[in-house]
Chains A and B, each alone.
Chain A
Amino acid sequence: MQITLDIPEALLTRLNAIDQSLPQVLELALDELTARPQSGFTGFAEVLEFLANLPTPEEILALRPSETLQAQIDQLSEKHKANALTLQEQQLWQQYEYLEHLVSLAKAKAYLKLQSNLHE
Chain B
Amino acid sequence: MSKTYVPASLRRNVVERAGSCCEYCLRPELFSLSVHEVDHVIAEKHGGTTTEDNLALACKLCNTFKGSDIASIDPETDEITALYHPRRDRWSEHFQLENAAFIPLSDRARTTIRLLQLNRSRILKERSLWLDSGLIKIPI
Q: Which of B77-85, B90-98, B124-132 contacts A (4 or more CB under 8 A)?
A: B124-132
Contacts of B31 in A (CB 8 A): 104, 107-108, 111
CB of A100 within 8 A of CB of B61, answer yes
CB of A63 within 8 A of CB of B129, answer no
CA distance in complex: A99, B68 (Å) = 24
Q: Which residues of chain A from 63 to 113 have any CB-CB distance to chain B below 8 Å in the complex?
A: 63-65, 70, 73, 77-78, 80-82, 97, 99-101, 103-105, 107-109, 111-112
Q: Decide if the interface of chain A is mainly helix, strand, loop or mixed.
A: helix
Contacts of B122 in A (CB 8 A): 97, 101
Picked from B1, B123, B129, the residue with its CB within 8 Å of the CB of A109 is B129
Known: A105-B129, A108-B126, A111-B133. A81 touches B67 (CB 8 A): yes
Q: Which residues of chain B from 68 to 111 have any CB-CB distance to chain A below 8 Å in the complex?
A: 68
Q: Quick one: CB contact mask for B31-45 with A, threshold 8 Å, 1 for yes? A: 111110000000000
CA distance in complex: A100, B29 (Å) = 12
Q: Does A53 contact B (CB under 8 A)?
A: no
CB of B126 within 8 A of CB of A101, answer yes
| A-binding residues in B (CB < 8 A) | 1, 27, 30-35, 60-61, 63-65, 67-68, 122-123, 125-126, 129-130, 132-133, 135
Q: Does A34 contact B (CB under 8 A)?
A: no
CB of B61 within 8 A of CB of A97, answer yes
In the complex, the number of residue pairs spanning A and B with C-beta atoms less than 8 Å apart equals 63
CB of A81 within 8 A of CB of B126, answer no
| B-binding residues in A (CB < 8 A) | 47, 61, 63-65, 70, 73, 77-78, 80-82, 97, 99-101, 103-105, 107-109, 111-112, 115
CB of B135 within 8 A of CB of A64, answer no
Picked from A77, A107, A112, the residue with its CB within 8 Å of the CB of B32 is A107
Picked from B1, B34, B129, the residue with its CB within 8 Å of the CB of A70 is B34
Known: A73-B60, A81-B67. A105 touches B33 (CB 8 A): no
Q: Residue on A with the closest CB to B132?
A: A112
Contacts of A64 in B (CB 8 A): 33-35
CB of B33 within 8 A of CB of A104, answer yes
